[in-house]
Amino acid sequence: MNLKKRMITSFLPIKLGRLISLYCCAISLSISVLLFPSSVFAEKNVHIAVVNVSHIIKNAPQTKQSNLKLKEKFLPKEKALLKQSNQISQLEAEKNKNDFSLSNDKKAQLVREIRTLKRTYRRNLEDFREELRFVREDALDKVQTEVYQAIGAVREQQGIDIVIQEFVSASPRVNITTAVLDYLSEKIKPKTATEALPKKQQGNDGNFIPQ
């Protein structure tokens, strides 16, 4: 019993000492990792900048041009859907107004016509939304690609090493958001000078997002 107790007692210091040694090594390694980037940045004078990508995508001239093209493409279809909806509303109003004066045959015919028009309208509306969603996502992908290419170009022009997208607050001195927007504006100028923009049509202003 005494031998077993001595064995346990002698084992504990050895195990505890090993744990303490490993813990100290881990702390030392962590400190080295934390201090290493700072020393590298100090030696190489790394230039860091920040950028607000969501603000750029929202305000870029490429986004506005894309919205105009979407409006030109889908506005006629939206008007056709509105015409179908108005036709249904008119027939329903006629049925309600003349409900007592219409014959049973005429009333049944009107009900069938309204039901058919509603089915067609719902199908066309679903097709419209699906096509719009697909085209809009494709347009957004293209704008995002242009934005990230512009960020890369500005980074090279200004000799920046790292551009950070997610940040809480930053000095205007290191914020290149405006510079990227200016770059995108300059990039689109030759196109707008040689290509006429689509003729503006009456409809929703701003982003083309029908309900």
Of 56-60, 164-168, 189-193, the range with the lowest mean pLDDT is 189-193
pLDDT tens for each residue of 116-130: 999 999 999 999 999
Each residue's pLDDT tens digit, 50-106: 999 999 999 999 999 999 999 999 999 999 999 999 999 998 988 888 777 777 888
Task: Say which residue, 32 or 125, is predicted with more confidence.
Answer: 125
Dihedral angle, C-alpha 172, 182, 209, 144, nearest 10 °: -90
| pLDDT, position 55 | 94
Non-local (6+) Cβ contacts of 55 within 8 A are: 177
Residues 6 or more apart whose CB falls under 8 angstroms from that of 177 comprise 50, 51, 52, 55, 56
Mean per-residue pLDDT of the chain: 77
Nearest Cα to 24, choosing from 16, 35, 36?
Answer: 16
When mean pLDDT is compared across 35-39, 74-78, 146-150, 172-176, the lowest value belongs to 35-39
In this predicted structure, what is the pLDDT of residue 110? 85
β-bridge mates for residue 175, sequence order: 50
Q: Global pTM?
A: 0.60
Smallest CA-to-CA distance from 181 within 11, 60, 26 is with 60
**3 state DSSP class of 16:** helix
Q: What DSSP designation does 165 have? A: S
Q: Residue 32 has what pLDDT?
A: 39
User: Residue 160 carries which DSSP code?
Assistant: -
Predicted confidence band of residue 209 (pLDDT cuts 50, 70, 90): very low
**Residue 123: what pLDDT?**
96
Instruction: Name the one residue in this structure whose structure tokens are 């005429």.
Output: 106
Asked if pLDDT for residue 196 goes beyond 70, the answer is no
In the block, which residue shows the tokens 């505890």? 16
Q: How confident is the model at residue 44 (pLDDT cuts 50, 70, 90)?
A: low
Interatomic CA distance for residues 157 and 154, integer angstroms? 5
pLDDT of the residue at 179:
95
Residue 121 confidence (pLDDT): 95
Long-range contacts of 124-131 (CB under 8 A, 24+ apart): 124/80, 124/81, 124/84, 125/81, 128/74, 128/77, 128/78, 128/81, 128/210, 129/210, 131/74
Separation CA 189–CA 200 (nearest Å): 19
Confidence of residue 198 (pLDDT cuts 50, 70, 90): low
With the C-alpha atoms ordered 95, 99, 103, 105, is the resulting torsion angle positive or negative? positive
